[in-house]
Structure 1
Amino acid sequence: MPARSLSPFQILAEPVRLYLIELLCWGPASSGDLALMVFDRFQVGWSAVSRHLGTLRASGFVRLIRHDPQRWYALRDDWLDLIDEPVGGLHRAWEEGDPYRALGDMDLADETSKNWGLPLVSIPGRRGMRGRARVNTADRGIGRSEESDDADGGAGFD
């Protein structure tokens, strides 16, 4: 996936990239120094660090400074704007949802999802071991406590 199509959250979700940004908050650093520090922490090789720096550069977080044979990386002055924009969108969505959260009634979830055009969130049935069909063990009485009203011994056997 090209770096420009990644969201800032996806960029920062990678621990190595987040660490690189933390290091660059202290100031510009050479690619070799960054690679050594990342290796000390994550045991990640230079080529992987180079790819992460390329992703950060393509996404607009860092800039490359060439100085003779060395490459230095620095955070762009507007790098925080890349994060502030999507976080601002989350703030707006959170504030718009205040009236609905204040009601605390889950019956409204059906109505609000229709208004917003959002699908209802449903939790699919748990899947057993890989390759097997879904089995509802509760229907068999498996997993029920002996103290429950409809208990049959907990294992489904008489």
Structure 2
Amino acid sequence: MKRLFSLLGILLLLTGCGTETKQPKEMPKEMPKEMPKEMPQAMPADFDFTVRYGYGEVRKNEINTYEDTVTKDLIMKGTATASITFTLEEMTLIYDKMREINIMGEKELIPASNHCSRTPYTEDSWEISIDGETKALTWSGENCNVTSDAQQLLELRTFIHNIVKGKEAYKELPQAEGGYD
């Protein structure tokens, strides 16, 4: 009887320890990417944005349409803030520029190769609200190469800043003193 139980035990062990491996269920090769949301043709009523920019991590300049303010980095003198509201025409121009570059779509903001860096460098942080969706973007000019998406954001920020520079309230802000190394 002992032999029978021993033989059954050995058979159970051998069948449980088979050398066949189960094939894993087939994994999808690549998950489909979500299609970027297309921005509405006409500027939605909830369109707002903030862009903070400056040198390195010192992003003291800010254009903020959520609060209708502009903050200027005065370097050695701190910062100064003014109330500035864009006209409907200006907001439409800005929206159209954002729509041209599909700002709510996928953006490549980090260069593939970064073999060198520069100092000082600019850095921007964006928050954009369009049609019930809010997106945050950050890019840095620290690397010698800047992606085309980052270049588009720089050009957009420059476009917006040029509108701000023409505003009387901005012109009344104090001049900056000093500089960044």
TM range, normalised to the smaller chain?
under 0.3
Which has a greater percent of strand? Answer: 2
For normalisation by structure 1, the TM-score amounts to: 0.22
Structure possessing the higher relative contact order (Cα contacts under 8 Å, 6 or more residues apart) = 2
For normalisation by structure 2, the TM-score amounts to: 0.20
Which has a greater percent of helix? Answer: 1
